[in-house]
Amino acid sequence: MSALILISVLAVLVLYLGLYNKKSWLAPLGILGLAGAIVLFATGWHIPHHLLAGMLEFDRFSIGFSIGMAAITLLIFLFGPDYYTRMQQHVAEQYALMLFSLVGGFLLSSYTNMLMLFLGIEILSIPLYVLAGAKKNSLRSTEASLKYFLLGSFATAFLLMGIALLYGLAGSFDLGVISAHIAGAGSSDLVLNFALFFVVTGLAFKVGAVPFHFWVPDVYQGAPTLVTTFMATVVKMAAFAGFYRFIDITGMPDALARIMVLLVLATLLVGNVAALRQTNFKRLMAYSSVAHSGFLLLALLTDTGPGSTVGATLLYYTFTYSLATAGLFVLFTIAKRANNGAEHNGIFQGLFAAKPWLALCGLAMFLSLAGIPLTAGFIAKYQVFLLAIGAGWLKVMGFGVLMALLGIYYYIMVARELFVPAEHPTTFVVTPLNGLVISACAIGVLLLGLWPALMAW
């Protein structure tokens, strides 16, 4: 509770600083507040609170995800001063909206009541609808905002229908009561199956699962890069935390398992195959995000209730994925500026000749996303496949392995560009903070790959 209040108040303070044109104070204040929230979560100081009436549970899973989301947001805020250096207006609003969205992420990782699930998704999503259209003079940004808002509204309608049906069946919004009703109901309960389908549809939209992924490439490409980074990392962590809590508490009825298998297969196939043809880096990362959602959904499919390590695997996977993705988007911004705003995959050419360390950092992050050994991405996929084998989903796991091998290709093709000499003289301007963020992300994926126990559950 204390961390929720801190981040909420922090967002309001950031807005007030914007009124007084204190642009240089925004990122430092945000970073200080996020560090404070991490300390509060880590120490557990005043985290549980009786006023929440049991609707939020700050257990180890929730605290782990909350710390991870706050840490990635802190890295994004370190990138913020350089990203907004040319922007004179509405900077405070963007920082504040990201902080408000983060509060929604905290709720999604800790809810035990369907009302809190709905509130968490809306608090997470509504600021993003605004942030996606933050480039007011860009038609592409406006289109991204509108598309995200319209599709998000439909997804919310599905989610609300599912929540309403579950309430009608169980007579309560509490997940424990709903779980007890599901356990006592038969697999032929048509209304229950529809309720589960509607809730999963709403959650699948947030994680970018196929066929609810159509917003992902357009929004990633059209939104400002800093916002895209936030959506691809913090929002993804929050969405999967919320998805896991619903499945873990309510169990995995046969109808839900069948839905999840279809989601896994479709998401892995479409995400990896579509990524093969992408020449725009942001769209490539969008379909890459869809593909990784498939692996994370496979982990969710294996959830077997108490004693399961699915939660720990999801935290490790989403956090290490977020580290690599955040670092690559910072590197992309540097390369984009050096190439007069171009966004194609070739903008990384000449980086090794100009900035060898950054090129090596970029290589480490690409290899982690591809799941190459000695990186955190390899350990993450390995843990997911072990879970699938243990739960008996051998065919689905085999398909996942094939898709993982396919995914290596498009990551390596882009990573190769880091070491190709540039056709024209290119100047890569790197600020100390940007270099720090990229280095921290690259070192993080290597350290967590060599010593996964650093994130022991």
Name the residue ranges covered by the structural domains of the chain.
252-457
Residue 77 reports pLDDT greater than 70? yes
Q: How confident is the model at residue 88 (pLDDT cuts 50, 70, 90)?
A: low
What is the spatial distance between Cα 234 and Cα 104, in angstroms, rounded to a whole number?
11
Structure tokens at 454: 């650093």
The Cα 281–Cα 288 span in angstroms is 10
Residue 306 or residue 43, greater confidence: 43
Sign of the torsion formed by the C-alpha atoms of 404, 405, 406 and 408: positive
Structure tokens at 86: 């040319």
Opening angle at CA 77, ends 30 and 407, nearest 5: 145
Could you give the CA distance from residue 321 to residue 323 in angstroms, rounded to a whole number?
Answer: 5
* pLDDT score recorded for residue 5: 87
Residue 16, number of CB atoms within 10 A of its CB: 11
Pinpoint the alpha helices (H) of 276-424: 281-301, 310-338, 351-354, 356-370, 376-391, 394-417
User: Among 96-110, 179-193, 239-253, 349-363, which stretch is predicted with the lowest mean pLDDT?
Assistant: 179-193
Transcribe 21-33 into DSSP letters: T-HHHHHHHHHHH
Residue, of 86 and 431, whose pLDDT is higher: 431
| Cα within 13 Å of Cα(75), Cβ side | 28
Rounded average pLDDT over 298-307: 76
Residue 450 confidence (pLDDT) above 70: yes
Q: Which of 46-60, 371-385, 413-427, 437-451 has the lowest mean pLDDT?
A: 46-60
Note if the bond before 306 is cis, omega within 30 degrees: no
Q: How far apart are CA 238 and CA 109, in angstroms?
A: 6
Residue 348 to residue 334: CA distance in whole angstroms: 9
| Close Cβ partners of 317 (under 8 Å, ≥ 6 residues apart) | 292, 295, 296, 299, 380, 381, 383, 384
Identify whether the C-beta of residue 319 lies closer than 8 Å to the C-beta of residue 68: yes
Q: How far apart are CA 218 and CA 334, in angstroms?
A: 22
Which tens digit of pLDDT belongs to each residue from 318-356? 999 999 999 999 999 999 988 888 889 989 999 999 999
203-207, 221-225, 366-370, 451-455: lowest mean pLDDT where? Answer: 451-455
Side-chain-side CA neighbours of 318 within 13 Å: the count stands at 38
Of 80-89, 130-139, 157-166, the range with the lowest mean pLDDT is: 80-89
Burial of 8 by CB count in 10 Å (0-12 exposed, 13-18 middle, 19+ buried)? middle
Q: Report the percent of the chain where pLDDT is more than 90.
A: 61
In angstroms, the CA 321 to CA 288 distance is 11
Looking at residue 209, its pLDDT comes to: 92
Residue 188 is predicted with a pLDDT of: 66
> Is the pLDDT reported for residue 76 higher than 60?
yes
Integer CA distances (angstroms), 324 to 26, 365, 408, in order: 25, 5, 15
Residues 40-47 have a mean pLDDT of 80
Is the Cα dihedral 126, 71, 117, 143 positive or negative? positive
pLDDT of 362 strictly over 90: yes
pLDDT at 157: 93
> What is the predicted pLDDT for the residue at 305?
62
Q: Look up residue 406 and give its two tokens.
A: 């396919």
Question: Are 179 and 250 a contacting pair, CB within 8 Å?
Answer: yes
Whole-angstrom Cα distance, residue 288 to residue 293? Answer: 9
Rounded to whole angstroms, the Cα distance separating 423 from 222 reads 28
Buried b / exposed e over 92-131, threshold 16 CB at 10 Å, is: bbbbbbbbbbbbbbbbbbbbbbbebbbbbbebbbbbbbbb
Mean residue pLDDT of the chain comes to: 89
Burial environment of residue 395 by CB neighbours within 10 A (0 to 12, 13 to 18, 19 or more): exposed
Distance CA 227, CA 216 (A): 13
Label residue 54 exposed, middle or buried (CB < 10 Å: 0-12, 13-18, 19+).
exposed
On the question of pLDDT at 457 being above 60, the answer is no
CA distance 377 to 185: 39
pLDDT at 440 over 80: yes
pLDDT band for position 251 (cuts 50, 70, 90): confident
